[in-house]
Structures are given as structure tokens and as C-alpha cells.
Structure 1
């Protein structure tokens, strides 16, 4: 669309503050660097959570079961077992994807304070998933012997599929909107092409799907349901109303007509 979203995974700034970012096309170099470095540091941090026993210590401190041995048991990479290996890889891909977004796709000014907010949110979500995974490993029915594929089950395969679909959707939505906005013929128009013709916020849907995929890979269905519901609530109660208010004030009838053509905000036919 011809607006810039709040950074992935956070509620928007207060309306006036958010509009100020959108109206100022001068990019904040410190903000972009802070955001990029913060996101790519997520995977190394979670790797240390696994390998240095920080996740186990945190869980046992609150009376939950956890074992350092089960983190490293089975085939994996860099002293990790199969599920921690998958999760660390997913964290890395997501972090690199967001770093690319802020450096090459985003064209608006996001100061370091906003960058730190989104980095903090995503780090918090990843840390929760790491803790869930370590706890789930203590009662996992999956084998720890054999090759890599022997040691993961349907939840991990489904999680990988959701992750791949979500990341792809987020990339396609953002890059297609960037191309739409660059075309002089589309100046002053709302992008209602491609994924933007299906839901009004396909980037949010993509983000929600890949976040759900990571959580499902931990092996916990309860955590997957809870964290996915939390993510949808975060968008529907924060990000989406803020964007809708901004778009309505900027585009007026064009926005009203668009919402009639595309009534679903984030989940086709449901929400």
C-alpha cells in the first residue's frame, strides 16, 4: 500500500508520532543500523540461551523442568540438538529478513527509539520460544538417535512450512508495495494489487504465520495457540487501528472504498 507499516511485530507509536515518521521521508541512519544489528543479533543470543544453559537456569528458577543434556542430544549443528538447531536457523532467517527490510525496502524515518522497540519485542518473542522449546524437550516423545529427519516430527515439519509461507508472504507483500509506490502512475493511489487485494495487511498476516511456525517448531501446541492469539490481538488492537486512522485521514473516500472491496484486515473472510 502507499503507506509504511509500523515496524514488524510492534504496536504503532501514538498517532501523531507515527504520522510524523510517515511524513518524513528522510531515513534515520542510526535507527536503521540499530534495527538491523539488533535483529541479526537475535539468533546468536538464542544460541547462547541454548548452549550456555541460560534457558535451563531460567526455567528451573521458576520451578519448571529443563535439561541441558536434552538441548544437545541428537544430530544437529554447533553443539545443538535437532530442534534447537531448527529454531536457531529460523531466528537467523527472520533476523536477516528484517535487516534487509529496514536497509533496502523501508523508505521512512524510524529513529533509534523505534528501532529498539521492535528489536526488544522480537527478542522477547524469540526468548519465549526458546524457553518453551527447552521445557518441551524434557517430555518430547521424539527419538534422539538416527539422522536429523528421524529426530523431528510433524510439528516441526508443519512449523517449517508455516515459517516458509509466512516469510515469503511478508517479502512479497512488502516488495510488491515498494514497486507499486515507485511507479509514477500510482502516485496518490492505494495499492490494491496482489496480496493487498486479498487482505488489507498481508505483511501482518505473513508475520503472524512465521511467528506461529517458530512456536509450533518448539513442539508445544498450547504455546502455539497462545502466542499466535497474542500476536493477532497485538495487531488488531494496536497496529491496525492506528494505520486505519492514518489512511482514512490521508485518503478519505479512496480508503473507504478500499475497505469495502477488501473487508478483511488480516485473516481472509474472518478478521
Structure 2
């Protein structure tokens, strides 16, 4: 939309004090550096958890089955098996997408503490995904020999599809809103074009989809359901109401009219 970039789209919630940063154009170099370096370091960290046996040790320490052999077995890249390779690639793409956003799309100040929240949340969720994937590999029905595609199943393909759709949706929504705001004719207007004419928060929907896609690619349906439920609940109970209050105060009747035209906050026809 045409309002200043809200903090919640990269985090599960937006603490109240961070709301005051909306509209502050003064870029924090330490904050941006923390954001970029933190997100770009996530994929290498997950790679080390896979390859150095740290994740396996953590799982076995709490009595869960895990095997270093299964992490590396089968065709993959840089010592990883097929599913760990797929997940590490997803982690890397998501980190690069976030780095690009804060450097080239973002239009307001990101202080260090806010950046640390984003980094901590995404790294925590991905670490959980890595642990879940290793545990799931112990009972995987898919072979570890043959081509890369022979070694992954429908959950990985479906997860990859959701990831691609979600990353694309989030990126298109953010970039189209940026273009809308740059046009002088749209000054003071709410962006109700493109994806913003379908749901009020397509960036949140995109984020939820790609987050769901990564977890589904671990092979665990239970973990996928928990993650998706948590992410939707956080957006619907915290982030979206906070933004709605901000938008109502700033745009008044224009915001109310927009909500009537676009009644779905997150999922068309459902939520």
C-alpha cells in the first residue's frame, strides 16, 4: 500500500514501540548492516548444522533419532544429501531476498534492535526446520540412490512450489507498492492495485506461503501445520490489527473504503 513500510512483514509480530519507526526515513547503517549480514549468514549456519553434526548431536541429546549418514547420503551439493541441499538453497534465497528488500525496497529506518528481531526469528525457525528435516530423514520412504529428483518426494516438490509462489508474491507486492508510492499522482493514496486489490496484506500472505513451503520440504506435515498456524495467528492477532490502527489514524475514511472494497486481510474469501 502507499503507507510507509510496516515492520511486521518479516517478523511474526510487531512490538508496539517499533510502530513509531514507521515513516522515519533516516537510515540506520548499523541496523541495515545487522539485517543484511544476519540474514545472509543464516544459510551458512544451517549448512554447518547439517555438515558438522551439530544438529544430529542436538537431536540425539534429547532422545530423538538422527543420523549424520542420512544427512549426506544421496546426490546433493557440497556434502549434503538431496533434502538438506534443497533446504539450504531455500534458506539462501530467502536470506538474499530479505537483504535485497532492506537495501533497495525499504524506505524507512531499521534500527539495530529491530533488525536483530528479524534475524533471530528467521534463524530460529530455520534451525527448527533443519532439526525437523534431519529427524524426518530417519523414516523417509524415498531412496538415497539415483538422481536428485528420485530422492525427493511430493512434500519437497509441493514445498518448493509454495516457496517459489510465496517469494514471488511477496516481492511483486513490495516492488509494485514502491512504484505506486514513487508516482507523484498517488501521493496520499492507498495502493489498491495489483495484488493489493485482492487482499490487504499480500506481502504477509507471500511470507506465510514461502515459510510454509520450507517447512513442508522438511518432510514433516505436523511441523508444517504448527508453523503455518503460528504464522497466521501472529499476523491476524498482532501485525494486521496494529497496521489497521495505523492506517485508520492516517487515512481515515479512505482506509475504511479500502477495507470495504478489499474485505480479505490475508487469504481471499477466507480471512
Q: Same fold (TM over 0.5)?
A: yes
> Aligned equivalents of 1:106 and 1:180: distance in 2?
14
Further displaced range: 17-26 or 167-176: 17-26
In structure 2, the residue matched to 1:218 is 218
With structure 1 as the length reference, what TM-score do the two structures score? 0.98
**Equivalents in 2 of 1:23, 1:10: separation in Å?**
20
Which SS does the other structure have where 2:22 is aligned?
Answer: helix
Q: Which residue of the partner structure matches residue 44 of structure 1?
A: 44
**Superposed displacement of residue 11, structure 1:** 1.0
The alignment's C-alpha RMSD in Å is 0.8
Q: When the two structures are aligned, how many residues end up with a matched partner?
A: 269
Distance in 1 separating the partners of 2:131 and 2:251: 44
Matched, 1:124 2:124: yes
* Alignment check: 8 A CA contact 2:47 2:88 kept: yes
**Corresponding position of 2:96:** 96
Q: Which runs of 5+ in 1 are unaligned?
A: none
Deviation at 1:18, TM superposition (A): 3.2
User: Which residue of 2 is the match for residue 266 of structure 1?
Assistant: 266
Matches within 5 A, 1:1-271: 1-3=1-3, 4-7=5-8, 8-14=10-16, 17-271=17-271
TM-score (norm 2): 0.98
For the residues of structure 1 that align with 2:165 and 2:19, how far apart are their CA atoms?
31
Residues 133-154 of structure 1, C-alpha deviation per residue, up to 9 Å, x if partnerless? Answer: 0000000000000011111111
Counterparts of 1:211 and 1:19 in 2: how far apart (Å)?
24
Gaps of 5+ in 2: none
> CA offset at residue 58 of structure 1?
1.1
Q: How big is the shift at 1:175?
A: 0.1
Q: CA deviation at 1:57?
A: 1.0
Alignment deviations for residues 60-100 of structure 1 (CA, whole Å, 9 cap, x no partner): 11111111110000000000000000000000000000000
